[in-house]
Amino acid sequence: MTLWWVRHGPTHCREMIGWTDAPADLSDSPRLARLARYLPAEAVVVSSDLCRAVATADAIQGSRRRLPHDPALREINFGAWEARSFAEIDAEDPDLCRQYFSTPGSVAPPDGESWDALAARTSKAADRLLRLVPSAPHVIAVAHFGPILTQIRRARGCSAEAALAQKIDPLSVTCLHWDGTAWQERAVNHHP
């Protein structure tokens, strides 16, 4: 099976909006049409349950079969840092803020989620898609920056720091193929 990870459309937010339900700007119709044409016609579509991912999936679905929205594909939960600027968080707790971003792993914001927790949640969702859709050779998963990076890390076997250095633009495609034993990277941050 091949998982076609699509990052949702841009939100234009400058704050941390993990679980904050900010809408996507889907005004670039030609770009969405190119994206929809590029993705496999026989694929099934699933998305995070956050409105920016749902609306993006709606825009590219076409005649493809749709699976129920999956909350396990949500962005990382920033907890008490949600909808706040980096500067504000850094001023409030500079040590935790620096530790969270410079050494991603088990450190989490207050009432939030660590990188490791996000990676475990997203990997379980990807594995579940393998079992739920065994007859579908292609699944389009419309998700977020963080979940996509966790799966790049999984395919590359690299560190969290190395994965976080990878750019994942809004409306880009990251293609990962399951060969029966491991995830193989086919394309990252591709712009059709």
pLDDT, average across residues 153-166? 95
Q: Hey, what are 56's tokens?
A: 């993006």
pTM for this one? 0.96
Given a cut of 90, whether residue 107 has pLDDT beyond it is: yes
Give 173's strand partners. Answer: 6, 190
* Ramachandran category for residue 83: left, alpha or beta (phi over 0 → left; psi -120 to 50 → alpha): left
Residues 148 and 167: beta-carbon distance below 8 Å? no
pLDDT at 134: 67
pLDDT at 43: 95
What are the tens digits of pLDDT across the range 11-26?
999 999 999 999 999 9
CA angle, 126 as apex, 124 and 127 as ends, to 5°? 65
Residue pLDDT, tens place only, 83-93: 999 999 999 99
Provide the pLDDT for residue 118. Answer: 98
Query: Domains in the chain, please, with CATH?
Result: 2-77+116-190 (3.40.50.1240)
- Cα–Cα distance, 180 to 95 (Å, whole number): 42
Find out whether 28 and 183 touch, Cβ atoms under 8 Å: no
Q: What percent of the chain has pLDDT over 70?
A: 99
Q: Note the pLDDT of residue 130.
A: 86
